[in-house]
Amino acid sequence: MGRVGVLLLNLGGPEQIEDVRPFLYNLFSDPEIIRLPFSWMQKPLAWLISSLRHKKSQANYMEIGGGSPLRGITEEQAIALHKSLQDKGQDVQVYIGMRYWHPFTEEAIARIKRDGVEQLVILPLYPQFSISTSGSSFRLLEQIWTDNPSLAPQEHTVIPSWYQRPGYLQAMAQLIARELDGFENPDQVHIFFSAHGVPVSYVEEAGDPYQHEIEECTRLIVQTLNRPNRHTLAYQSRVGPVEWLKPYTEDAITELAAEGINDLLVVPISFVSEHIETLQEIDMEYREIAEEAGIENFHRVPALNTHPVFIEDLANLVVEAIDAPPLTLDQVMRPQKNFKMYPQERWEWGMTTAAEVWNGRLAMLGFMGLLIELISGHGPLHFIGLL
């Protein structure tokens, strides 16, 4: 066996305020995040969204110190994983590849090539698979190696998801139990699992296993925890006019408050590191919703970060992957068809193909008109005060 490397994949995040706008542009330029009927619309739409959203996003990042801690935490996870692998007698170099900010996946691949890695384990830091998270990074890797085959390692194996791992489940259960025991009546606390959402079309049209894996992961954590507490699963962080997985986190919190729930413990089930969606969205926005609805005791389980049981399990996972037959990128799940995420229900007034064509044309005209107005600073939206 030649030199072995592990590539940890993650989202990435802006490290300082001036990074927010280009980070958002990178995010929304990804067709796995927002799918459009024509590829040429992707970058103009990404520019539009990043232009409209960056000030609000900057304000959110200011609330957590001015930038995302994700890179620093991921680097700590890489160091801890490297040490755990060394303790198991494995001489494995660990690399970090972020999808939308530094260190980019492309940078990691260049370092992997420079270091002469011959066997690469690709390990996303997402417990559950989705085409919009792990899948997007997998597609990017395929594209990098297609464009420059000399960058590809001689052998690679992919770990698509690992939500059912015993060490991961045990680490999550330990964190939840510790927080529960801090309440006055631990058995009366309602456990609230909040997962990052995805559009319904990803699941129903593309066959994304994400919803199934999230639901199964929730069941396994509750089983491992072995406590009598009631629990709820909901989805956060939806963007745009399309339908996302339900129930939405904010709606579910309000409904629980109406039922008389007073003690709520939120578990960020699809995140293994602290970042904007735990530190700001859950800790601030959802806390405010809960308290306004009448929930007096709102607590959150911390992200796993470098929890020793979690890191140990990741190391075991890597060792198992090294010894097992490889699972290559072309064997990993991908969308079953070229589905559309754009809000087709807003444009369809009939069931015919012609209706969809004309509705799409009208939407494109409106989109281009909005771009022109944003650039020129003149138009009906400016006149009525919307821009």
Contacts of 274 (CB under 8 A, 6+ apart): 69, 70, 73, 302, 303, 305
> Is 307 annotated in some ligand binding site?
no
CA distance 28 to 47: 8
Measured in degrees and rounded to the nearest 5, phi and psi for residue 169 equal -65, -40
With beta carbons less than 8 A apart as the criterion, state whether 283 and 271 touch: no
In terms of Cα–Cα distance, which of 161, 160, 236, 223 is closest to 194?
Answer: 236
Angle, helices 308-323 vs 166-180, to 10°: value is 170
> Is 196 annotated in some ligand binding site?
yes
- Report which secondary-structure segment, H or E, holds 340: none
Angle, helices 353-376 vs 42-62, to 10°: value is 60
CA distance 150 to 215: 40
Annotated binding site: 196, 277
Annotated binding site for Fe(2+): 196, 277
